[in-house]
Each structure stands twice: as structure tokens, then as C-alpha cells.
Amino acid sequence: MVDSKGILNADRIDVKGDKNKWGICKKTNKGGRSGNIKVTMRDSDVCIALSTSWSRHHKARMGGRYSGRFFPAVLRGALDVPATRIIDDMYVREAVAVGMKAVGQGLAERKMSIEELDAVVREKIFKVE
């Protein structure tokens, strides 16, 4: 995990003084890495950024940028648990929950049963009938 000053690590006084950053540091940097964002990205599979400014400048080298704003509950839940991975089923469950909320608020055109919704999700997302 990186902030504007670099990788969150145990040698940084500002990290030790911030309980949130310290907690993140202990969970995400057990190897004691230090350096800036460029050092962090070496040999990394994923970049989760709270700001798009860095990734915007490097998008040509990156496979793409994705925002968590479309599935915030999945990301929030993964951080709260803490999950070691995010699986496709988590996104499907959130999409179903959002859809059911829309139905409940009268924003959807047609109400579907859970079974109908499951069939639609399977057909559209997983291409399974």
C-alpha cells in the first residue's frame, strides 16, 4: 500500500503515528518494502489507487484502469473481512442486491423472482442456460 510519501512501512514515523496506516502497513507490507510508487509496481499484479492521477499518467504501460465505484460493497467487504481474494460470485451477489433494491424502490420495470433473476444472470454473465 502506498500513500503520497511512498510505501507504507514500519520505518516511517508518520505511519506509526496513524493507527489506520499502521494497521494497513502491518497487513500489506510484511516484507518491509520501502520506496515510491514505481518501486511498488515492480513485480505487482494489481494496483488499487484512491487517486487516478498516477495511473492516468501510466495507462499506456498498464492493462487498464478500473474503478471500485461500480462495486463499492464488494471492495468495502473485502477490506473489512479481510478477504485474501475477490471472486466473481461477490460481484454477482452485489449486482443482485442492487437489482433487488431497485425493484423494492420501484425503479425496475418488472419484478423478478430470485429464480428468474438467477436464470438471467447465468444466461447473460456466464453464458449458461
Do 73 and 58 lie in a common domain?
no
Distances from the Cα of 96 to the Cα of 62, 70, 71, 115, angstroms: 30, 13, 11, 11
The predicted pLDDT at position 41 comes to 78
Do 57 and 86 lie in a common domain?
no
C-alpha cell at 22: 499502521
DSSP at 111: -
Q: What percent of the chain has pLDDT over 90?
A: 6
User: Any idea how long the chain is?
Assistant: 129
Q: Rounded distance, CA 129 to CA 119, Å?
A: 7
Q: Over 70: is that where the pLDDT of 18 sits?
A: yes
Report how many domains make up the chain.
2
Do 90 and 58 lie in a common domain?
no
In which domain, by residue range, is 10 found? 2-65
